[in-house]
Amino acid sequence: MELEKLNERAAWISIGAYVLLTISKLTVGYLTDSQALLADGLNNSTDIIASLAILIGLKVSKKPPDLNHPYGHRRAETIASLIASFIMMVVGIEVLINASKSIIFQQTTTPKLEAAWFALFSALIMFIVYRYNLYIAKRTSNLAVKAAAKDNLSDSLVSIGAAIGIIGSQFQLPWLDPVAAVIVGLIICKTAWGIFSEATHLLTDGIDVDLLAKLHTSISQTKGVRQIRGIKGRFHGNELLLDIDITVDPHLNVIESHKITERIEKKLLDQYKITHIQIHVEPEPIVVPPYCAKSGKRL
């Protein structure tokens, strides 16, 4: 319960920071004639919606299992990240289109220098939020909060890029401001694509093969395990579900075989914090030596 509250707090802090920065950037950007800062403000406006989607996903994921969802609702977090990526991509493309039009049709003006200082201040704020959310994501192993932290970092970099473009435009190069807006749009799209790729990978039951290899090694070294016939895993939200097929000594009884599965479960819980494991136990085939017809004995 404490970890869930930490995740929700991280989402609320992101929302609060984005609301404040969106209003401030759009106001300052309009007053200083800075397309880069306006683009940055639009970027933060999408982050408000994305953070709300993540917050809703966290709320839904806490619902207990029911008849239609026997594994619970953990994947709501991943779906929230996917929705957030769609929103970010739409705004990123719109920023690119508007900034490109300004460059092509030479609709450029030199923004006031105050816009640059405000952009740098915004970058500092978002970097602090990023560090906090990253800390929470590592502590709770929550994928949605991790995605939010990545977005926080990209927002900080976006603001720095906007500041550079604004400062550069002061040296008789007004086109640098919309160029900075183009860079902002590209960063938004890149971040959106990264979140989209990770979310779709998990929703299609993708898993890191290196992780499976480590689990295979750990299980194979467990006392009593003869062979591993198969190991499969998938993420349900931030919870890993494992299906394992092993062989054991065929002369063991049910209780002795079950003790081997308990050793595997304890080992994976201690080493990888995995709580949901299904283990199928089979007797290892008994190899019968071939019969020698001449001597009448087994070879």
Per-residue pLDDT tens digits for 181-239:
788 788 888 888 988 998 898 888 888 889 999 999 999 999 999 999 999 998 887 78
**Burial label, 147 (beta-carbon count in 10 A; 0-12, 13-18, 19+):** buried
Looking up tokens 């970027």 gives 43
Percent of the chain beyond pLDDT 70?
A: 94
Tell me what pLDDT residue 294 has.
Answer: 57
Q: Give per-residue pLDDT as tens, 135-150.
A: 988 888 777 788 788 8
List alpha helices for the chain, DSSP H.
2-32, 35-61, 76-104, 114-140, 143-169, 176-203, 209-220, 254-272
pTM: 0.70
Q: Does the pLDDT value for residue 291 go beyond 70?
A: no
Backbone angles phi, psi at 295, to 5 degrees: -90, -20
Q: What is the pLDDT of residue 228?
A: 94
The distance in angstroms from the start CA to the end CA of the chain is: 63
The residue that leads in pLDDT, 105 or 263, is 263
Domains, the chain, ordered by start: 2-203 (1.20.1510.10), 209-283 (3.30.70.1350)
3 state SS for 10-28: HHHHHHHHHHHHHHHHHHH
Confidence band for 72, pLDDT divided at 50, 70 and 90: confident
